[in-house]
Structure 1
């Protein structure tokens, strides 16, 4: 499940020298700034981004495939990987327009659509709020089975099998962690995340190879989908499963090498690995249960010590990941509350954001915690939550924002193009003076296409989810 890595952002001092347009040197900006040096290696960047991608979404992947059919399901998973990876690539391109180590959605919104920043922060807040809810639902679904797996005698106590009890109990653990201003101590859970996901993959594949679920397996549809409405209402689950874009700027800020080639290889490494995991789990999980598959595959295995360990690992993973969603959600809500319309002629230069007061910090944090707890106590369908989150926040962060940011910031009519700093091409500045290159034109068209695709996915899937889940 998506986790958050917080980059140490360097402060920069700017001396700007502007020469008149039309001169031989064009319009240039010089900066005397403190140089930001990242420390993250390529391997750590891939691991962090992969940990952000793969999480609770993998539990619902077999159910999503059951709605599409196996053949179309594999195509949709791979296509979603491509679309998500393209969004990450656009973010990497956008980061070249701001100072090294300061890339963020907030910074880009100030250079492109400063008066729409409230919408961008709202999308991030919705996304993180929904992810936090899905974590609590996973805990409520799995803990009763964990208890039965460890000692069946504990099942004699009704409250031990009550999902509401376990959600409430684990809230007592995550609440103190959610009130920490700095979550550096939780970064070590990345290793636990990899172990948990790795064990889950082994568990799903092993049950498929053993064949101990075949007795209760439903029909298998290789080509024929369950139906247009069912498939489209499940599609946001796959979109959600690839959402890691809220952390991409942090990855770029922390990377020791954020060149074009290095950033592209990080994206390929993380998205490619995630797509492989999703296809493997979706195919083997669906073949294990057929159309009888539910929204949380690990909850369907019969009690055993192997499945109990797997469920325990997932519970630990989401328990420590919950505070990592509260932090960006809180920051985005704070930005929404502080937002004021920018005057037309006022400069749109990213400013230094003030830290929240203790009172506001406590109120916003409490609101997020109480809100996620209330929804998790009343909604017990993981696929429903993932579908709504994927339709709204995930779609906006993955497709709409990266596309619209790059389309705007790279416009040949915009002064922002003179801020471009791409050290991979020494002649890049001269190319800018000559106008758009062919690659830039294609990339801008692709960015606009990604934005339109995101809007279409959001409207279609959100509408279908509202009517489909209302009938069920």
Structure 2
């Protein structure tokens, strides 16, 4: 522990003061503006989506006990992936965290593949949101006006996709994720209405006549359970926006960022469990994929369908944001560019990652040039619009994209990145823990505190590194299982 002897006694205090000054100057290079609350709101909105409506069906396949356990387990693994992302972000200069930036200091030659997978995944989800709008809006219009069929364009899905594009286009051109906090609030109000609707009908008991058998412990079958497992796993996918949250949050201390993760995943898990249990108890094994569509047509159920439209409408820009950054990173990528910049004299990998560098692209939305930003955003919007207008269902495509893209960014990449970057022989690992231990020493105010902190920190980092590898392996297993399920059911359907 001799290398960690920066104890604030005698002549060490001025040196620590200078180190603190340098640290604060580095943090001022990029100062986040987003609050803890807005970060939570945007992340929760990224997580909670139309997949909430499928939770009762998933629980019908698994039973209440196993279904609840799987929902909580999926949330725990997703939260751990987010936590590893927050840990990895500390190895990068403040405000430059991204999958691309981490790829450059861990697996530089695979960086383009990682970002391409993220871009495809976010693009596919964005297209699915537009398709949902086109499918639901004719029913919403009919619910409010039974004579709507007399006006053909009001029940035309193409018209509604086009109309709502006029709303999402301005939102998609916002550079900062924090700018979407108000639309995220509206979206969360919509999902709150859906939750209230499901709980209200459960409490009222007006669905008992159509209720099927209820499974508490017993599951339907292994095949049905495995079929629903990907739905629950993918319902927590929000990792594509985590780095933007970390870049924009004003206080990026470990305690605050961990609080964002716990708060957002905890909120999502609470919503999923509540809707899954009350929705399943309302209809039993007769429940269908979209529980809102099962209620007797009324003003309340029509408003619920409109709430889904509002939810996915305001979720679309949250997919464009990471998609744009990943596309920009793919376009900027050059083979072996990291080796040329990272191994140059006087520019060690640790300095390239932790200090400002113009030679490494940051793949951050607010660092893209005006013209480039406009062109990439326009292309994403036009292509997603064309896809939504020409394709009526993307269920199978999204099943494969979700199995690969969602699993990769939720489990595999966070696990592999932290495992590689925290290796004991890594220059980045050797540099960052020293600074962290010095900070811990300043807080403890003595050598005894430093020694106990150092030993405890070393033990925690060793366990965390092993768990990160386990998460990556778990992600690979989930990918294999999900792809196998999709292939199996596609083959059976044909």
TM-score by length of 2: 0.80
Q: Provide Cα deviations, 1:322-353, integer angstroms capped at 9, x if missing partner.
A: 23322321321232233221164641536245
Which residue is equivalent to 2:287? 293
Which residue is equivalent to 2:260? 266
Q: Distance in 2 between matches of 1:162 and 1:186?
A: 29
Q: State the 1:119 CA deviation.
A: 2.0
Which residue is equivalent to 1:425? 440
Aligned pair in 2 of structure 1 residues 230, 59: CA closer, same or farther (>3 Å)? same
Aligned pair in 2 of structure 1 residues 81, 315: CA closer, same or farther (>3 Å)? same
Q: State the 1:136 CA deviation.
A: 1.8
Q: Provide Cα deviations, 1:71-120, integer angstroms capped at 9, x if missing partner.
A: 21111100001101111111121122123333222222222111111122
Which residue is equivalent to 1:35? 27
| 412-421 or 345-354, which deviates more | 345-354
TM-score by length of 1: 0.84
Q: Distance in 2 between matches of 1:184 and 1:24?
A: 38
Match of 2:463 among 419, 431, 442: 442
Q: Distance in 2 between matches of 1:363 and 1:93?
A: 30
Which blocks of at least 5 consecutive residues in structure 1 are unaligned? 1-21
Mapping for residues 217-236 of structure 1, pairs under 5 Å: 217-236=211-230
Which residue is equivalent to 1:453? 474
Q: Provide Cα deviations, 1:182-240, integer angstroms capped at 9, x if missing partner.
A: 67754320220221111110011111222223333333333333332332233222122
Q: Distance in 2 between matches of 1:371 and 1:258?
A: 34
Aligned pair in 2 of structure 1 residues 360, 169: CA closer, same or farther (>3 Å)? same
Which residue is equivalent to 1:115? 109
Paired residues of 2:143 and 2:302 also in contact (CA < 8 A):
yes
Mapping for residues 84-99 of structure 1, pairs under 5 Å: 84-99=78-93
Aligned pair in 2 of structure 1 residues 142, 267: CA closer, same or farther (>3 Å)? same
**Does residue 166 in structure 1 map to residue 166 in structure 2?**
no
Paired residues of 1:64 and 1:73 also in contact (CA < 8 A):
yes
| 167-176 or 114-123, which deviates more | 167-176
Which residue is equivalent to 1:403? 415
Aligned pair in 2 of structure 1 residues 179, 435: CA closer, same or farther (>3 Å)? closer
Could you say which structure has the higher helix fraction?
A: 2
Q: Distance in 2 between matches of 1:381 and 1:287?
A: 30
Paired residues of 1:111 and 1:416 also in contact (CA < 8 A):
no
Mapping for residues 332-343 of structure 1, pairs under 5 Å: 332-342=326-336
Q: Distance in 2 between matches of 1:279 and 1:166?
A: 32
Q: Distance in 2 between matches of 1:144 and 1:39?
A: 40
Q: Provide Cα deviations, 1:119-161, integer angstroms capped at 9, x if missing partner.
A: 2212221221122122123213321221121111113456544
Paired residues of 2:126 and 2:316 also in contact (CA < 8 A):
yes
Aligned pair in 2 of structure 1 residues 431, 398: CA closer, same or farther (>3 Å)? farther
Which residue is equivalent to 2:375? 362
Secondary structure of the corresponding residue to residue 96 of structure 2: coil
